[in-house]
Chains A and B, each alone.
Chain A
Amino acid sequence: MAVLVKIPSPLRRFTEGKSEVEVNGQTVEEALENLIGQFSELAPQLYDEKRELRNFVNLYVRGEDIRYLDAMATKIKDGDEVMIIPSIAGGGETLSNMAEVAATFDRDEYLRYSRHFSLPEIGLGGQLKLKKASVLIIGAGGLGNPASIYLAAVGVGHIGLVDYDVVDLSNLQRQILYTSDDIGKPKLTIAKKRLQALNPKVEINTYEEPLSSANAMTLFRDYDIILDGTDNFPTRYLVNDVCVFQGKPNVYGSIFRFDGQISLFDAKEGPCYRCLYEEPPPPGLVPSCAEGGVLGVLPSVVGSLQATEAIKWITGAGQTLIGRLLLFDALSMTFREVKLQKNPDCVVCGENPTITEPIDYEGFCGVSGLEEMVTVPEISVQEVKQKLDSGDDHLILDVRDKWEWDIAHIEEALFIPMNAIPSRLDELDPSREVVVHCKEGPRAIAAAEYLIKQGFPDVKNMTGGIKKWTLEVDPSLNLY
């Protein structure tokens, strides 16, 4: 049966501007299916996630509302007209609802949160969501400190802290919850006291134990959202995996020297950490903050951004970082953003996951004791350029991540991201000279050390990385 479906003006942007479309079908349902067959973009407009017609959609056949006929099974015949006609409904919150919400705050809270109440995006409703919310913060260090301070300050009702360390003098350069008097005391005892003094209205629960595959499933269960403030790969993968298993969002943050990364991983709606980094780098390839150093204020920038994401996720305000990785560079004072894709083959959140419960993360990350140090010879960008121009037999090895390669790379370079080096050693010829570079140096040095230990006799670090190359040899490349 050929019938005409009439399209209302706001939906014509999905039908190439057409106000009526001819389709076939015996029933209204078939007619709609065939319409969507022609204009697939219409499907999410007309149907919700549960494949039910959206509230605004009203369907009329021969001028009659199908709800008074046989609904979607209503028969249609040749020459009929099926009209999609919106109804427009809406409205503010009910006054009685708002009064109920208002009664859950006392006088002290009204003053304390008054700056939130006057933000329409948060207001009474958002503040109530914060009050009912629970956030588990992994690590009471550089990231966990600012994050917990802000989450307590804004009135997140239940905050959990996991850490088992004591305060060390070297922490005080960046861990702002602690003072010189606290050295040698358990971090959580001090943190709880300070946060409770900041806001007695919130509940602080402390878990003085290392997070492990044995306790993570139980610890996470009572919390709505997890904030990852860890500084090591085994815990980071553990946090990620358990969040995926329990369907919880994971506010990710990491810091190194002057650089920070922030994202919100929520496998229900976007990628997880493993979609971004399938496997950890081999042990020793990435220096920790203790070895590589970290700018004192950097963790507070990143930890505060993590708290911001947690607050937005809880209140529903704005757009979260789901599907986006934010990169902060304190030296150039720039923020960059990289789009993240969900990996359909991801072993925890993909279509056919192979990991469905916590594994041995220490083993997975190959964490072992300290290894002996080797010295990596340096080579300047100018020398590398000369070698390239003179046709010397040497190899430039770029060990950065794919997104960095896409921004800028040296034409002649071989690209093997750091993590992939151990599995792709056979692509490197030990008889040739190898010049390794990353963005500025730390990763290249670590990769070069690794290659030297693997028996490569002639490995050098290109001093200053691609950044120096761009500034001094090839300014046509993008700086980042």
Chain B
Amino acid sequence: MNVTEDVVDSIESHAVLSYPEECCGFLFGTENPSEIQIIRAESVSNERAGSRTHRYLMTPNQFLKAEKQAEKWDCQLLGGYHSHPDHPAIPSQYDLEHALPGFVYLILSVREGCLEAWRWWILSDDHRQFEELQLTRNSKEE
């Protein structure tokens, strides 16, 4: 897993500004067997009708648009991010029940308006849990 720093910055500020509601967005980049590289993030509005302090929704329409965007940018739609206000950056049961296989999930925990942690996850092959992805490097630190 590798992500560029300006992507990190944009997602972090989106999460903090959305507090106490959950924010969400898509992640774009390139993937080969040895590494997933995230090079762009695109915030979208949380389309969930209520309970946005602990729920988010990205609609099929938003998903389609994101796929088209990926084509335009000549990269892949690899995952999505969302924030957990006042809750750890680990997938909840609800996340598990709605998870899309093969999709990278970045979860950010925001405690009392401050970013606490962010962790990367992907659904296991048996759909029973999320497995954590390790961030190998951050492009600007090279």
Residues of A within 8 A of B (CB): 8-11, 13-14, 44-45, 48, 54-56, 58, 60, 65, 85-95, 98, 120-121, 123, 316, 319
B95 touches A87 (CB 8 A): no
Option from B55, B64, B67 in Cβ contact (under 8 Å) with A91: B55
> Are A91 and B99 touching (Cβ within 8 A)?
no
Q: Say if the beta carbon of B53 comes within 8 Å of chain A.
A: yes
CB interface residues, B 64-110, toward A, < 8 Å: 64, 67, 70, 76-78, 80, 82, 84-92, 94-95, 97-103, 105
Given contacts A55-B97, A85-B63, contact A91 B82 (CB under 8 A): yes
On whether the beta carbons of A85 and B86 are closer than 8 Å, the reply is no
Is B56 in contact with chain A by the CB < 8 A criterion?
yes
Q: Which residues in A have their C-beta under 8 angstroms from that of B102?
A: 10-11, 13-14, 45
- Whole-angstrom distance between the alpha carbons of A85 and B59 in the complex? 9
Using known A-B contacts A91-B22, A91-B54, A95-B54, determine if residue A9 contacts B76 with beta carbons closer than 8 Å. Answer: yes
Is B39 on the interface with A (CB-CB < 8 A)? no
- With contacts A86-B100, A91-B94, A316-B129 known, what are 16 further pairs, Cβ within 8 A? A8-B67, A11-B101, A13-B102, A14-B101, A44-B126, A48-B127, A56-B98, A56-B100, A86-B60, A90-B98, A90-B105, A91-B22, A92-B92, A120-B88, A120-B90, A123-B88
Q: Chain A's nearest CB lies how many Å from the CB of B137? A: 23
Complex A-B: 8 CB contacts under 8 Å: A11-B101, A86-B103, A87-B57, A88-B103, A90-B105, A91-B48, A92-B22, A121-B90
CB-based contact A90/B91 at 8 Å: yes
Q: Find out whether the CB atom of A93 lies under 8 angstroms from the CB atom of B60.
A: no
Whether A95 and B86, one on each chain, are in contact in the complex, defined by CB atoms closer than 8 angstroms, is yes
Q: Which residue of A lies closest to B55 (CB)?
A: A91
Q: Which residues of A contact B134 (CB under 8 A)?
A: none
Contact B56 A9 (CB under 8 A): no
Collect the chain A residues with CB atoms within 8 Å of residue B89's CB.
120
Query: B residues 21-52 with Cβ under 8 Å of A?
Result: 22, 24, 48, 51
Q: How far is the CA of A121 from the CA of B121 in the complex (A)?
A: 14
Could you say which of B64, B77, B98 has the most chain A C-beta atoms within 10 Å of its C-beta?
Answer: B98
In the complex the two chains form, is B99's CB within 8 Å of A90's CB? Answer: yes
With contacts A58-B60, A93-B54 taken as known, whether A88 is within 8 angstroms of B92 at the C-beta atoms is no
Which residue of chain A has its CB nearest to the CB of B110?
A92
Contact partner, B55, options A13, A45, A85, A89, Cβ 8 Å: A89
Cβ-Cβ contact count across A and B, 8 Å cutoff: 104
| B55 & A86 in contact (Cβ 8 Å cutoff) | no
- Distance (Å) between the CB of A147 and the closest chain B CB? 25
B58 at interface, CB cutoff 8 A: yes
Q: How far is the CA of A393 from the CA of B53 in the complex (A)?
A: 80
B90 contacts A88, CB within 8 Å?
A: no
Contact of A87 with B58 in the complex, beta carbons under 8 Å: yes
- Binding site secondary structure of chain A: mixed
Contact, CB under 8 Å: A91 / B56: yes
Which of chain A's residues have a CB closer than 8 A to the CB of B60? 58, 60, 65, 85-87
A9-B67, A60-B60 in contact; A91/B95 too (CB < 8 A)? yes
The residue in B48, B53, B64, B100 that gathers the most chain A C-beta atoms within 10 A of its C-beta is: B100
Q: Are A10 and B53 in touch, CB under 8 angstroms?
A: no
Contact of A93 among B24, B92, B103 (CB under 8 A): B92
Residues in chain A near residue B126, CB distance under 8 A: 44
Within the assembled complex, what's the spacing in Å between the Cα atoms of A376 and B74? Answer: 75
Question: Are A9 and B77 interface neighbours, CB within 8 A?
Answer: yes
Q: Which residue of B lies closest to A85 (CB)?
A: B60
Taking a contact as CB atoms under 8 Å apart, the answer to whether A90 and B53 are in contact is: no
Closest partner residue, chain B, to A123 (CB atom): B88
- Which residues from chain A contact B105 at a C-beta distance below 8 Å? 90
Considering the complex, give the chain B residue whose CB is closest to the CB of A19.
Answer: B67
A88 touches B98 (CB 8 A): yes
A316 to B98, CA, bound (A): 18
Query: Which chain B residues lie closer than 8 Å to A88 at the CB level?
Result: 24, 56-58, 63, 80, 98, 100, 103
Across-interface contacts of A90 in B (CB, < 8 A): 55-56, 82, 91-92, 94-95, 98-99, 105
Please name the 9 residue pairs, one residue from A and one from B, whose CB atoms are nearest each other, closest first. Answer: A92-B87, A92-B84, A90-B95, A10-B102, A85-B60, A91-B55, A120-B88, A88-B58, A89-B98
Q: Which residues of A contact B57 (CB under 8 A)?
A: 87-89
A9 and B88 in contact (CB under 8 A), knowing A55-B98, A88-B103, A89-B98? no
Contact: A94 with B63, CB < 8 Å?
no
B104 to chain A, nearest CB (A): 9
In whole Å, how far is B107's beta carbon from the nearest beta carbon of chain A? 8
A240 to B115, CA, bound (A): 48
A241 CA / B53 CA spacing, docked (Å) = 47
- Once the chains bind, are A95 and B67 in contact (CB under 8 Å)? no
Chain B residues within an 8 Å CB radius of A60: 60
A10 engages B54 (CB within 8 Å): no
Contacts of A98 in B (CB 8 A): 87
Q: Are B86 and A10 interface neighbours, CB within 8 A?
A: no
CA of A469 to CA of B84, assembled, Å: 59
Write out, one digit per residue, whether chain B residues 119-138 have a CB within 8 A of any chain A CB (1) or not (0).
00000001101000000000
The answer to whether A91 and B90 touch across the interface, beta carbons within 8 angstroms, is no
In the complex, chain A residues whose CB is within 8 Å of the CB of B101: 10-11, 14, 45
A249 to chain B, nearest CB (A): 15
A479 to B82, CA, bound (A): 49
A85 engages B64 (CB within 8 Å) = yes
